[in-house]
């Protein structure tokens, strides 16, 4: 049980924090305007020079393996609704880690999305 709780916390917090690290790296690079293959490759090269990008990918990879480990231990209809808590962690992290303005509208939206994902997996035929 302790292992399952630890895995779930890592999937939700670690995975979301990994994505926020990637966001931070992309914010440092600035708005992508050139969507040609050459422009995208140039952006990719710049992105992988930033430590946050590597940390983000590392955490996302660990979170993915934690998800695989969790799916081997528990039912998918339990695991996926719990991982939807990542949206709440994302809103909190967006505010405190990325300096975003998370308004009431956005909070209501995030909570509705969490509830919707819960219903989707509870209602799976």
What residues line the site for another protein (CB under 8 A)?
16, 19-20, 22-24, 26-32, 35, 40, 43, 47, 50-52, 55, 84, 86-87, 90-91, 93-95, 97-103, 105-106, 108-125
Closest distance between another protein and the C-beta of residue 97, in Å? 8
Where is 39: in which H helix or E strand? helix 37-47
Closest distance between another protein and the C-beta of residue 99, in Å? 5
Closest distance between another protein and the C-beta of residue 56, in Å? 10
Q: How many residues does the chain have?
A: 125
Q: Are 79 and 71 in contact (CB under 8 A)?
A: yes
Which CB, 64 or 118, lies closer to another protein? 118
Question: Is residue 102 exposed (0-12), middle (13-18) or buried (19+ Cβ within 10 Å)?
Answer: middle
Which CB, 14 or 94, lies closer to another protein? 94
Q: Are 114 and 80 in contact (CB under 8 A)?
A: no
């Amino acid at each position: 049980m302790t292992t399952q709780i630890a895995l779930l916390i890592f999937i939700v917090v670690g995975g979301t924090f990994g994505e926020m690290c990637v966001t931070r790296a992309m914010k440092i690079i600035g708005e992508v305007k050139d969507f040609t293959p050459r422009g995208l490759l140039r952006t990719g090269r710049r992105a992988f020079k930033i430590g946050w990008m590597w940390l983000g990918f590392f955490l996302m990879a660990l979170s993915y393996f934690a998800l695989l480990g969790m799916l081997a231990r528990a039912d998918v209809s339990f695991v996926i609704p719990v991982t939807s808590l990542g949206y709440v962690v994302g809103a909190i992290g967006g505010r405190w880690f990325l300096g975003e303005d998370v308004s009431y509208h956005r909070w209501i939206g995030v909570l509705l999305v969490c509830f919707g994902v819960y219903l989707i997996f509870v209602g799976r035929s």
